Amino acid sequence: MTNTVALYVHWPYCSRICPYCDFNVTRDRGQTARQTALFEAILTDLKTHADILGPRRLVSIFFGGGTPSLMKTEWVAEIVATARALFPPDGDIEVSLEANPTDAEIARYEAFRGAGVNRLSLGVQSLNDQALKFLGRNHSAREALIGLETARAVFGRVSIDLIYALPDQTLSDWADELTLAAQLGIEHISPYQLSLEPGTAFGRAARRGTLKILPPDMGEAFYNKTQSVLEALGFEAYEVSNHAKGQAAQSAHNRAIWEGVDYIGIGPGAHGRLTLPTDGENGQPRPNKDAAHGRVTIDGVRHATVALSDLLTYTAQVQMTGTGVAREALTAEDADEEALMLGLRLRDGVDLERFKTLDIRARAMRLITDRFLNIENNRLSATPKGRVVLDRLIYELLS
């Protein structure tokens, strides 16, 4: 583990809560004082993390939500500047922000660029007005296209999110929509299959039987269609749900997370992973010079971190103690299992040598014979057939 770190900032506010969404979100009713206090808490928590981590090199920042495009642009600017000052990066780094394509937010894209954002992840969700209405979105397809055009003019890099496998959507509807989206001049697409989460309005409707559910084999057909349409249009599936036109278009932040780089997660409910010394009472880690590679490494134990999910409790906790984030040490085996799960999401897969605590070779060989996994130069990766059933593969590998 080199001495790098990525930063995830969670902003939970949204103009409207979408019926399918189970992220940690809350309605934005313009609660200025609360939002200011949350911004200040995020900044404090970031500084506390710098005290805990010691010198690190920042590799990326991701503002996710919720809807961080509703944040004051000055706040985004201050968080970016503070993170860069606390963890000086080597030159330019990717700074992504999730945005909704409503008029009010589109008007602020320029200011976000001024704040240091250089990649926009736009929640288009669909290019079909009826589908947008079904999804409870507060923008039309036309607004999404205007948002996209503006984003392309303002930011060097733009990605869009789309949701597919909606009730009544046919495979050919989806193929047409995806083809249209892929030809809008973007370099990155994240298509997500609609999942009906318990605790959401859609989840409840599905349980009551008032929302149509696709048969499971249709999910697989939609997934395969997504892969073939995007592949044909030059978008490589570098991860299960992420497609990019060439290496440079891949999300550096998400790649860092899947590859096991440490990341700070701040803001209500945010998760993080940090390598910390075992013996330092959470003091400074002990950077060691790795003579063989000339790199600085962090000698320590991987920790899972999670921020308090309620935003008022999170804010109050940071005000009292400097952080709203709890940490738990992972066993070496847990850390390896997680690295395997995340790494297999990537097309490049994982280096088998890395997994010293896991005895997976024999099971992996069976899955290689059945063409679910592939091995090349000691790297284990999922085949296209394997990716469709990745969760099951991982279960089989680890059980």
Q: Does 17 bind ligand SF4 (CB under 6 A)?
A: yes
Q: Site map for ligand SF4, 83-122, x if CB under 6 A? A: -----------------x----------------------
State the sign of the Cα–Cα–Cα–Cα dihedral 74, 76, 77, 83: positive
Residue 318 — left, alpha, or beta (φ > 0 → left; ψ -120 to 50 → alpha)?
alpha
Q: Site map for ligand SF4, 341-370, x if CB under 6 A? A: ------------------------------
Contact 305, 327 (CB under 8 A): yes
Q: How far is CA 174 from CA 158, 162, 168, 226, 301, in A?
A: 21, 10, 11, 8, 45
Q: At residue 9, what are phi and psi to the nearest 5 degrees?
A: -120, 125
Nearer of residues 20 and 87 to ligand SAM, judged by Cβ: 20
- Written as one letter, the residue type at 21 is C
Q: Does 192 bind ligand SF4 (CB under 6 A)?
A: no
- Written as one letter, the residue type at 193 is Q
Q: Does 14 bind ligand SF4 (CB under 6 A)?
A: yes
Nearer of residues 99 and 339 to ligand SF4, judged by Cβ: 99
Q: Does 69 bind ligand SF4 (CB under 6 A)?
A: no
Question: Which of residues 3, 125, 126, 323 is near ligand SAM by CB under 6 A?
Answer: 125
Q: Does 236 bind ligand SAM (CB under 6 A)?
A: no
| Among the listed residues 350, 347, 388, the one whose alpha carbon sits nearest the alpha carbon of residue 237 | 347
CA–CA gap between residue 249 and residue 377 (Å, rounded): 25
Question: Which of residues 12, 116, 123, 269 is near ligand SAM by CB under 6 A?
Answer: 123
Q: Does 20 bind ligand SAM (CB under 6 A)?
A: yes
Contact 127, 118 (CB under 8 A): no
CA–CA gap between residue 125 and residue 132 (Å, rounded): 7
Residues 29-58 that bind ligand SAM (CB under 6 A): none
Pairing, β 119-125 against β 94-99: parallel
Q: Does 195 bind ligand SAM (CB under 6 A)?
A: yes
CA–CA gap between residue 91 and residue 285 (Å, rounded): 24
Nearer of residues 66 and 147 to ligand SF4, judged by Cβ: 66
Q: Does 162 bind ligand SF4 (CB under 6 A)?
A: no
Contacts of 104 (CB under 8 A, 6+ apart): none
Residues 92-121 that bind ligand SAM (CB under 6 A): 98, 100
CA–CA gap between residue 64 and residue 219 (Å, rounded): 26
| Among the listed residues 62, 52, 64, 79, the one whose alpha carbon sits nearest the alpha carbon of residue 303 | 52
Q: Does 123 bind ligand SF4 (CB under 6 A)?
A: yes
| E strand or H helix that includes residue 36 | helix 32-53
Question: Which of residues 3, 4, 44, 67 is near ligand SF4 by CB under 6 A?
Answer: 67
Q: Does 67 bind ligand SAM (CB under 6 A)?
A: yes
> Which window, 2-10, 59-67, 198-206, 253-261, contacts ligand SF4 (CB under 6 A)?
59-67
Q: Residue numbers of the site for ligand SAM (CB under 6 A)?
A: 14, 20-21, 23, 64-65, 67, 98, 100, 123, 125, 161, 163, 192, 194-195, 197
Q: Residue numbers of the site for ligand SF4 (CB under 6 A)?
A: 14, 17-18, 21, 23, 25, 65-67, 100, 123
